[in-house]
């Protein structure tokens, strides 16, 4: 298992590129459909933010000794997140994603030890999650700029 520092460094690398790409978009570009058949880049930012918020809550439970394994369906949860955030303005989605990341980092930093569950929540909802979406986000930003397909 990676150390706390290694996990934090991986998250910082993935987040930095993710945030730079997102921040390069205007609100209108962020809301332009096409990141995926169903999503705009704004929907992606909301998706990342929602998972970071959930991971932050789970890390707090781990720290407090109240953690119970998560047994929700990921696709259903993604649909719930989309429904809850799709109509939000771009500025709100950006702010909420940044706030969720801050809370996630605080919760992770506060852990006295990194348990396998904590490492999984942090990796899956932070570094790994941003990294998973970076290839398509890079392509989509290039397409919006006229350099794609």
Residue 40 belongs to a domain:
yes
pTM of the model: 0.94
Residue 55 belongs to a domain:
yes
CATH assignment at residue 52: 1.20.120.450
Residue 84 belongs to a domain:
yes
In tens, the pLDDT along 85-141 reads 999 999 999 999 999 999 999 999 999 999 999 999 999 998 899 999 999 999 999
In tens, the pLDDT along 11-40 reads 999 999 999 999 999 999 999 999 999 999
Contacts of 49 (CB under 8 A, 6+ apart): 85, 93, 96, 97, 98, 99, 100, 101
Residue 149 belongs to a domain:
no
Residue 59 belongs to a domain:
yes
User: How many residues can be counted in the chain?
Assistant: 149
Q: Left if phi > 0, otherwise alpha if psi is -120 to 50, otherwise beta: which for 111?
A: beta
Residue 140 belongs to a domain:
yes
The boundaries of the domain holding residue 70 are: 4-144
Domain count for the chain? 1
């Amino acid at each position: 298992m990676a150390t706390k520092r290694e996990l934090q460094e991986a998250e910082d690398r993935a987040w930095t590129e993710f945030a730079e790409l997102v921040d390069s978009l205007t609100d209108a570009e962020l809301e332009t459909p096409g990141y995926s058949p169903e999503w705009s880049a704004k929907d992606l930012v909301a998706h990342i933010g929602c998972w970071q918020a959930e991971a932050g809550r789970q890390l707090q439970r781990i720290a407090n000794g109240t953690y119970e394994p998560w047994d929700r369906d990921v696709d259903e949860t993604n649909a719930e997140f989309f429904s809850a955030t799709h109509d939000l303005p771009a500025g709100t989605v950006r702010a909420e994603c940044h706030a969720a990341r801050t809370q996630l980092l605080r919760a992770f930093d506060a852990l006295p030890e990194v348990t396998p569950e904590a490492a999984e929540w942090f990796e899956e909802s932070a570094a790994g999650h941003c990294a998973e979406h970076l290839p398509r986000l890079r392509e989509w930003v290039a397409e919006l700029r006229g350099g794609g397909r």
